[in-house]
Amino acid sequence: MFMQSSQLSTVDHSRAYGRFTYIYPVISRRSHGLSIGVNLSLDNRCNYNCVYCEVDRNTSVQRAEVDPDAFGRELFQILSDIKSDPHGPEVKDVTFAGNGEPMAVRCLDRCIELAARILSALGFADTPVVVITNGTYVHRSWGRRALTRLAAAGGQAWVKLDAGDQHRMTRTNGTEFPIERLEENILDASRILPVTIQSMFMKCWGKPPSPKDVDQYICCLKRLAASGAVIRNVQAYTVARQPRSSHITPLDGTALELIASRIQGEAGLPVETFA
């Protein structure tokens, strides 16, 4: 039997579920309910090092190749458990996220295809496959393959954009990845399927983002919109669980709503907030 939804919570996104390697069910604010999380980053590595990241990278983890068939067996198992449970919760989505960047995994396209097939075979045809990505592999051949497969499966891509200038992006995401390249990647991704932009706003050492930071972020959204990027919506959120860095704390709801109304008013994009 599937674990009761009361045993899951938005404040515990542990990757552990039974003996599963790839699957972790969570109650997700952004999915509005039960999300079947998929972690393909078995080595806990990521090409970003976000200040708000919750993944513990101090423990050494062995490198391991992703086995799409083993992932498929786990997904089939958990969805079968939920389906056979008369009190089983509604599954809102199957989301590739996890302990690193899912689009770094070269067999992501195969895993997406398997997920879509299993969902359909078990009667979850309306449950979407979601990929949460930092957008840095869109220009790679395997990244494009994954997005093309996702589009064919009617899935969704949620792409991280936390800043509108290189300085803040580097500070927030711990990366030198060029912001111009990220903008191009978001535009390219949106030519394959409409994208959701996910943006984190938080306090750093007790300070909220400066007006200049928000101005530059909104300019970036406006540039994307003016270039023809197809953006479904923006998810503006703040930290819900304590990140590794203790100087990162949540932004209060009023400040987040103010940023959201600027996004809506100035960039003309629909926004959902998660305070």
Residues that bind ligand SF4 (CB under 6 A): 46, 48-50, 53, 55, 100-101, 134
Q: Any idea what DSSP says for residue 88? A: P
CB 37 within 8 A of CB 23: yes
Q: Residue 48 CB, nearest distance to ligand SF4 (Å)?
A: 4
Q: How many CB atoms lie within 10 A of CB 187?
A: 18
Asked whether the beta carbons of 22 and 39 are under 8 A apart, the reply is yes
Closer by beta carbon to ligand SF4, 127 or else 173: 173
Kindly tell me which of 53 and 131 has the beta carbon lying closer to ligand SF4: 53
Given a contact cutoff of 8 angstroms between Cβ atoms, the answer to whether 275 and 253 are in contact is yes
Please give the single-letter amino acid code of residue 263.
Answer: I
Q: How far is the CB of 225 from ligand SF4 (least distance, A)?
A: 24
Smallest separation (angstroms) from ligand SF4 to the CB of 117: 27
User: Cβ of residue 134: shortest distance to ligand SF4, in angstroms?
Assistant: 4
The CB-of-47 to ligand SF4 minimum distance in angstroms stands at 7
The smaller minimum CB distance to ligand SF4, of residues 17 and 158, is found at 158
Which of 2/24 has CB closer to ligand SF4?
24
Q: Which long-range contacts (CB under 8 A, 24 or more apart) does 261-264 make?
A: 262/214, 262/218, 263/218, 263/221, 263/234, 263/236
Q: Structure tokens of 65?
A: 């190749």
The C-alpha atoms of residue 124 and residue 79 are separated, in whole angstroms, by 9
Give the helix, strand, coil percentages of the chain, each rounded to 5: 35, 20, 45
Q: Which is nearer to ligand SF4, 101 or 213 (CB)?
A: 101
Element containing residue 147 per DSSP (H, E)? helix 141-152
**11 or 226: CB nearest ligand SF4:** 11
Rounded to the nearest whole angstrom, what is the least distance from the CB of residue 223 to ligand SF4 in the complex? 22
